[in-house]
Amino acid sequence: MKIRTLLFSTIALLSATVAEAQGRRITGKVTAEEGGAPLSAASVTVVGTTTGTYTGEDGRFSVAAPAATVTLRVRRLGYAQKAVTVLAGQSDVTVSLVRDVLQLETQVVTGTATAVSSQNAANAVAVVSAEQLTRVAAPTIDVALQGKVAGAIITTNSGAPGGGSQVQLRGVSTILGSFSPLYVVDGVIVNNSTINGGLNVVSGASRGNYSSSQDQSVNRIADLNPNDIENIQILKGPSASSIYGSKGTNGVIIITTKQGRAGATTVDFTQRVGRSTLANKIGERCFQSAAEYAAWAAANIGQSAAAATADYNNAAVKCHDYEEEYYNNDGIAYETIGSLRGGSQSGSSFFVSGLAKHDNGLAPSDFYNKQSLRANVGQTLGSRFTLNANTEILHTLTQRGISGNDNYGVSPIGVFLFTPSIFPLARNADGTFPQNGSVINGPSNPFQNADQVKTPNNTYRFIGSATGNLSLFSTEQQTLDATLTGGVDTYKSNDKVVSPATNYADLAVNGALAGTLFNSDGNVTNANLNGSLVHRYVLPVITAQTSAGFRQERREVSITQLTGRGVIFPSVTNVSNAAQTFPNQTLGLNKDFGYFAQEELFALNERLLLTAGINAERSSNNGDQQKFFTYPKFSASYRVGILPSMINDLKLRAAYGKAGNQPTAGRTTFLTTLLYEGATGTRASTVKGADDIHPELATETEGGFDLTMFASRVRFSATAYKKKITDLLLTAPIVSSTGFTTQYLNGGQITNHGQELELDVTAYQRGTTSWISTTTFARQRGFVDELPEGINPFIPASGSFSSRYGNAWIAPGMSTTIIQATVGCKVDVAPGAACSSANRIIGFPADANPDFQAGFNNLVTVGAFRFSGLLDWRKGGAAVNLTNNYCDSYNLCADTLASQTRYNLYRAGGTAYVENAGFVKLRELTVGYQLPTGVTRSLFSGRAQSVRLELSGRNLKTWTKYTGLDPEVSNFGNQAIGRFQDVTPYPPARTFLFSLATTF
């Protein structure tokens, strides 16, 4: 993305053909204050004109200027900007810049082709730099963002390798619409869809023969390579994301990848090795004596005392710790990253990078492999045209094994909680696997499943974009630039599930039709074309920037899935060998088109910024496919002019904007095809469509201030917002005895309120010693204000289990994240007895929304040593722990007293499984050491510039009262509401890495 070339204050540097009507030429040099090194690629602009230039490799510049006294503004990434006065007659100037430790100077996006310095930004746009992102290697970018952005709740679905997590910005913004933030990489809207991987065909979590939302699949943003990212900007709500129109409700995550830059080519090479270990266990009951086991067996499986005693006495090991035995994949994980970055003075630039990564899952046979290759190239042609092309090819091969909810007795945690501790499960010496001796869950053996059942996902992805930038004209006062960006994001994802007929579990479930195969081929393509014109008009008192353009998007999806049962040959993985097959296909095509226009006015010596913009968009997802829906925005920021000396800068800001969320379905009422003996029958679908379905509308008002104090060593930012979502997209239940179950409609309203605080402090800085601390804090509340007339409160159609455990509930006046569950019984029940369904009282024992979330990120540098740590604190917020119900029901939890107390409470109609899921996690911890230059030189015969050694850890420690494996959990993967279901998930891992990073 060529945003930087069009920056408001960075001037149209491409329009170098500035009229030489001015009186003189100013030359000079830009250096770093600390060390005095020359700074290349710094922008130097003449205030009040469009004139400007960049410094060369030697830090020198030359710019035409009027004869009178002028002010030059000098900016460079990573340094605080400076304005210097050059008197009439002065022709040479040296400017030294101070490091911008707190990133006050980052350019933040305000439009498709416009950006402003964060010092002027009217929104609380979070910016995460490459260094912050990769301080500790993260498997995926969303994980890398955890704890670093105020107002973002980022939750991993489970501990399975390869990602799968949810990013929610400023609360729940939809009930049944799409809920993911929009991801934009270098101007291309990239796909974050999930293709269900078919685990259901062996787990039976949703029963049947097809894939399901309980397949523990990965949302594909996980593919991106965090190491290529220059920075991530997060437009948290519609007041900023309005520029993305009907895709902006959930916020926008704008990812900019690294670009080449003029100068000597640098080569970076990083090698990491590490391993992951089991971070937490549920704990199973250990039987201490034959008598204890016999008593248990009599009560729970109806086994006679003699038989149970014999089983116990025959067991070689009385107390297996299955979790310890199973989640014990101690293979080495590695990550190799290399990149080349450079460019020539003739206008070429390049950034080329490669990645090879291997992570192990905790369970045997599970892994996550990723390779990527990126080439970003840029070329300036003549004085008026630049072209940038960014491409990335990614490949991931992931095997996540079996986890989560299941009904076929295969999910390891579920099996372990149903297996008394006396039965051996691990592989026998002869290579065979024992049948699970538990009558509850036998013969299924997770060790055999791990060996035999394969669940590979193989994804190839290409993300590419090209941006052309043409300076149409340029005068001293005006410039007009045209930018055209075309991009494509396409992936091909293959999922397989292979469960041979010799598998105990498959045989028990499928009998004569044992032997299961699943094959899914998904092809997903997003294509964008954006064009914009930016006109800048610079006057002494005011600078006006007008931009207008269009944005076109096309999304295509084709998923073909085939399940086979009764495949009797274990080595065969071609579904055509199956005795029975079950096909399923999904096709989709969407087209969006929109216009936008925006006016930005800079006045009062760049202290006041006023912005007004509008987007008009149509989408084929809407009932009326040709109707344009409009999304305006207005914002203002003002940097207070006169301040006490200790305060460097105070900015007041306010922003208002609207954004939408497109319907994903519901334009028409379909006919449902029902086959009967191969002949086609039809009836009207039970889901009524709405021919006027249209986007949800989110309206956000945001206000706040940013304060920089004590020589820019402290920055405090406070933001409050109110986001109102109207015309909610609902699939509201219909009284089903009418013969219909659901109808699509727009209506109702949600309001979210929240506050976000960020405090950045350079607590200490002297010489080579520094301590930089960043604290983020965010809280938000969301309520359903109203539902459309005639729609009664309902359980949203997203996945959930029964109110006996806890489910989501949408009702006017209630929190959007409220948990509905049984809270008692209308009549007294004896201990251990059950409250009947009719007598159970349904209430609202908890809310899934945390009270607040805070992040503490500290970086301490002492000479060559660097220490950093990130704590992520989520206070409150509840989850539904169905995993406990598994071991409670057979009294096989480690803590039998607590378990049976809980189980009796459950049977008596109480709230037994809704738990506080608050936590404090030590997300990241690093100790780094930079080798002394002398050692570096001698080791690499003078070729290496720097060598850094690092020991780091991720998710090393969790403090929580939650009794499950991990308070971050979502059995159904990504869904807008009701994410809090914990059903025998993949356990969390603790990861240690050793890194060697070198720059040549």
CA pseudo-torsion sign 242, 468, 265, 141: positive
Q: At what angle do helices 896-907 and 882-889 cross, to 10 degrees?
A: 100
Q: Which is nearer to another protein, 355 or 507 (CB)?
A: 507
Residue 670 makes contact with another protein by CB under 8 A:
yes
Residues in contact with another protein, total (CB under 8 A)?
108
Please tell me the number of Cα atoms within 13 Å of 591 on its side-chain side. 4
Cβ–Cβ under 8 Å, residues 478 and 436: no
Does 501 bind another protein (CB under 8 A)? Our answer is no
334 lies in the binding site for another protein (CB under 8 A): no
- Residue 523 or 581: the one with the smaller Cβ distance to another protein is 581
- Does the footprint of another protein cover residue 512 (CB under 8 A)? yes
Stretch 543-562 residues interacting with another protein (CB under 8 A): 548-550, 552
Residues in 881-910 at the binding interface with another protein, rule: CB under 8 A: 889-890, 907
Residue 307 interacting with another protein (CB under 8 A): no
Exactly one of 537, 595, 634, 873 binds another protein (CB under 8 A); that residue is: 595
Binding mask 602-641 for another protein (x = CB under 8 A): ----------------xxx----xx---------------
CA 980, CA 972: separation in Å to the nearest integer? 9
Taking CB under 8 A as the criterion, the residue among 85, 91, 288, 673 binding another protein is: 673
Return the residues of window 572-591 that contact another protein according to CB under 8 A.
579-583, 585-591
Give CA angle at 988 (206, 521), nearest 5°. Answer: 45
In this chain, which of 560, 668, 726, 900 binds another protein, going by CB under 8 A?
668
**Binding residues among 757-796 for another protein as defined by CB under 8 A:** 792-795
Is there binding between residue 836 and another protein (CB under 8 A)?
yes
Distance CA 966, CA 872 (A): 14
Q: For residue 382, what is the DSSP state? A: T
Query: Does residue 827 belong to the site contacting another protein (CB under 8 A)?
Result: no
As measured in angstroms, the least distance from the Cβ of 444 to another protein is 10
Residue from 264, 346, 645, 676 in contact with another protein (CB under 8 A): 676
Q: Is 592 in the site for another protein (CB under 8 A)?
A: yes
Distances (CA, A) of 369 to 227, 357, 359, 372, 489: 15, 5, 6, 10, 20
Q: Indicate whether 432 belongs to the interface with another protein (CB under 8 A).
A: no
Q: Binding to another protein (CB under 8 A): which residues in 697-756?
A: 733-741
Of residues 204-243, those binding another protein (CB under 8 A): 204, 209
Range 246-285, binding another protein (CB under 8 A): none
Question: Backbone dihedral region of 269: left (phi > 0), alpha (psi from -120 to 50 degrees) or beta?
Answer: beta
Q: How many Å apart are CA 87 and CA 71, to the nearest integer? A: 9
**CB nearer another protein, residue 119 or residue 438:** 438
Q: Does the footprint of another protein cover residue 807 (CB under 8 A)?
A: yes
User: Taking a C-beta distance cutoff of 8 angstroms, is the pair 487, 527 a contact?
Assistant: yes
* Three-state DSSP string of 29-41: EEEECCCCCECCC
Q: How far is the CB of 795 from another protein (least distance, A)?
A: 7
Q: Pick one of 175, 509, 567, 993: the residue that binds another protein (CB under 8 A).
A: 509
Residue 716: burial class (beta carbons within 10 Å; 0-12, 13-18, 19+)? middle
Stretch that binds another protein, among 67-75, 374-382, 500-508, 701-709 (CB under 8 A): 500-508
CB 9 within 8 A of CB 117: yes
Angle at the Cα of 694 from the Cα atoms of 693 and 698, rounded to 5 degrees: 140
User: What are φ and ψ of residue 324, in 5° steps?
Assistant: -65, -40
Q: Residue 729 is which amino acid?
A: L
Question: For the purposes of burial, counting CB atoms within 10 Å of the CB of 87, is it exposed (0-12), middle (13-18) or buried (19 or more)?
Answer: exposed
- Taking the C-alpha atoms of residue 155 and residue 146, their distance in angstroms, rounded to an integer, is 8
Binding part of the chain for another protein, among 1-9, 95-103, 653-661, 671-679 by CB under 8 A, reads 671-679
What is the nearest approach in angstroms of another protein to the Cβ of residue 674? 4
Give which of 481, 586, 362 is closest to 12, Cα–Cα. 481
DSSP string, 873-900: EEE--EEEEHHHHHHHHTT-BSSHHHHH
User: Which pair of tokens denotes residue 484?
Assistant: 């055209």
Which one, 86 or 534, has the nearer CB to another protein? Answer: 534
| Cβ at position 447, least distance to another protein in Å | 17
Peptide bond into 443 cis (omega under 30): yes
Measured from the CB atom, the residue of 368 and 980 that comes closer to another protein is 980
Minimum distance from CB of 891 to another protein (Å)? Answer: 11
682 lies in the site for another protein, by CB under 8 A: yes
Selected binder of another protein within 151, 237, 443, 953 (CB under 8 A)? 443
**Judged by CB under 8 A, which of 680, 934, 941, 942 binds another protein?**
680
Q: Out of 44, 184, 355, 508, which residue is the one contacting another protein (CB under 8 A)?
A: 508
